[in-house]
Structure 1
């Protein structure tokens, strides 16, 4: 009887060990997919811009724009960060700081740089850590980047003057980054407003959603396991990286934008974010727009909304 019990315990222990090893192995795989920069099969490929595209004027302008390299050091790991600065045609103290999306870079934000340039702003386009020409091993999803953007903002003020008027803008991961910055206590007073486009409520919520949508995986145990691996390797957990918690601490004006047909960061995420902020706010839902396609879908509505929103808070 004792031998049978021992064999049973060994068998159960072996099975549990295999299960744990399998879960950890899968967790490490999905950590690579989610947090380590590399080509991602689930991301749509860049489309070719033709003359008929609503993005064509922006692309043509960006190719010949006066782009100056700026550099910054990250708030941790001593990483070297890279950005383009594009001065306005006419001297101005107004600057837009633009945050890009997941596996994006400064060059992929050309349409928004064009929009702000047309509105008379200087434009700063940083590459997030582990993106573009910036150094880094792990994607920060805005959480690791929020302090970096505060440093970029301070560099704008140092170079352009204490009377600078700054708006921070971002799409997708950049939208979440913008909201995460809004909750920081050391944001300079020169930041007058925020505009976020299709940002997520938290990294946990977004990873959980994508695990279900892309891989048909339940939340438990994979998302908590990958989050724990991220905490050890990258220095943050998914639940910790919450735009919702950050925006609750914001008292400055914020414009929220989302496409009605967003199935990557679902449209429903924008509503708790909009209701959470404590400052003046506005919400634009662009009908028929997919993820990060609101500007492309209706550039006139998008630009007019941004112009009218900022006119109330920036001279």
Structure 2
């Protein structure tokens, strides 16, 4: 009887642990978690950027405003001097548009309109579950159209994201994008959520891929309707032809450097990369904001006028 019961006990344990893992990783959070200890030294500067953004003449934009279950929100900050150049900034895991205030100020200083969406299950947007950029990439297609409607057909759009946001804009690159989208900047995006979860299962929880990741995937397919194996920046980048600038911290142990290599090798368009010395995950800006802005500006100066070759 003991030997017959063992598989049931094991299966129940796997199911229970997998449900806990899913809730931990995918469930909506309504409060931005505290930053890691090594980034506490940037707290004063971070809140200075947030205060700056809150004092700007911003607008709140919405998608699906009459559908409570799918309503999305974004903060829009127009440039001081009227322009058709806009950056759409994609935030990180369990953040929101406001947590990207430092990047908003950087692009504002460069003369861009700035759009800061809150992803599904983040900030002011609806949603129960985090999609790790996969369904968000489709929402951003709608945000792109909203920018074009507001700015005009001569709009020039930059896609920018950090961490999960970096992966989101990388995954957007494989979609059919309007010609107004000129280039992409991705800071420390993962190559696939499958690989990222395997890495974090081992590093944070000391758990193997099998049987836990397939169980978490089954839960996600039931709740969100897609397989985690689909959520791949590297696969999407194989269809990309636009210029892309990859930024990655040299000492990133959350999204390891192997993922940068996979994404860089996958993309088919003009590409550049900058590995930032001594930077941990999503720390590249904070180590030297002026150097970060200069690298971004150099890339944009070269590629904002880029148009896809006619096939």
The TM-score, its normalising length taken from structure 1, stands at: 0.90
| Matches of 1:254 and 1:87, distance apart in 2 | 24
Gaps (5+ residues) in structure 2?
306-311
State whether structure 2 residue 281 is matched by structure 1 residue 291: yes
Q: How many residues align?
A: 302
1:110 to 101, 113, 122: 101
Q: What's the CA shift for 1:258?
A: 0.4
State whether structure 2 residue 184 is matched by structure 1 residue 184: no
| Matches of 1:49 and 1:274, distance apart in 2 | 29
Instruction: Report the equivalent of 1:251.
Output: 241
| Matches of 1:169 and 1:225, distance apart in 2 | 33
1:82 to 66, 70, 73: 73
Segments of 4+ moved more than 2 angstroms: 10-13, 38-51, 55-61
2:131 to 111, 127, 140: 140
Give the direction of change, closer, same or farther, for the CA distance of 1:232–1:196 in structure 2 (3 Å limit).
same
Partner of 2:76, secondary structure, is strand
State whether structure 2 residue 180 is matched by structure 1 residue 167: no
1:101 to 82, 92, 100: 92
Give the direction of change, closer, same or farther, for the CA distance of 1:61–1:95 in structure 2 (3 Å limit).
same
Contact 2:68 2:126 survives alignment (8 Å): no
Give the direction of change, closer, same or farther, for the CA distance of 1:56–1:43 in structure 2 (3 Å limit).
closer
Q: What's the CA shift for 1:248?
A: 0.8
Larger deviation, residues 266-275 vs 79-88: 266-275
1:44 to 20, 29, 36: 36
State whether structure 2 residue 172 is matched by structure 1 residue 195: no
Instruction: Report the equivalent of 1:210.
Output: 200
Give the direction of change, closer, same or farther, for the CA distance of 1:100–1:50 in structure 2 (3 Å limit).
closer
Larger deviation, residues 155-164 vs 224-233: 224-233
Q: What's the CA shift for 1:47?
A: 3.9
| Matches of 2:35 and 2:12, distance apart in 1 | 29
Q: What's the CA shift for 1:48?
A: 7.2
Which whole-Å deviations, capped at 9, do the CAs of 1:262-309 have from their partners, x for residues lacking one? 111112210110111000000011101111110011112211111011
Contact 2:188 2:281 survives alignment (8 Å): yes
Larger deviation, residues 57-66 vs 159-168: 57-66
Contact 2:50 2:98 survives alignment (8 Å): no
| Matches of 2:26 and 2:17, distance apart in 1 | 14
| Matches of 1:199 and 1:102, distance apart in 2 | 11
Contact 2:91 2:100 survives alignment (8 Å): yes
Q: What's the CA shift for 1:63?
A: 3.0
Give the direction of change, closer, same or farther, for the CA distance of 1:204–1:40 in structure 2 (3 Å limit).
farther
The TM-score, its normalising length taken from structure 2, stands at: 0.92
Which whole-Å deviations, capped at 9, do the CAs of 1:122-172 have from their partners, x for residues lacking one? 000000000000000000100010100000000000111010000000000
| Matches of 1:311 and 1:262, distance apart in 2 | 28
| Matches of 1:254 and 1:78, distance apart in 2 | 33
| Matches of 1:161 and 1:235, distance apart in 2 | 35
Contact 1:33 1:40 survives alignment (8 Å): no
Gaps (5+ residues) in structure 1?
1-9
| Matches of 1:202 and 1:306, distance apart in 2 | 24
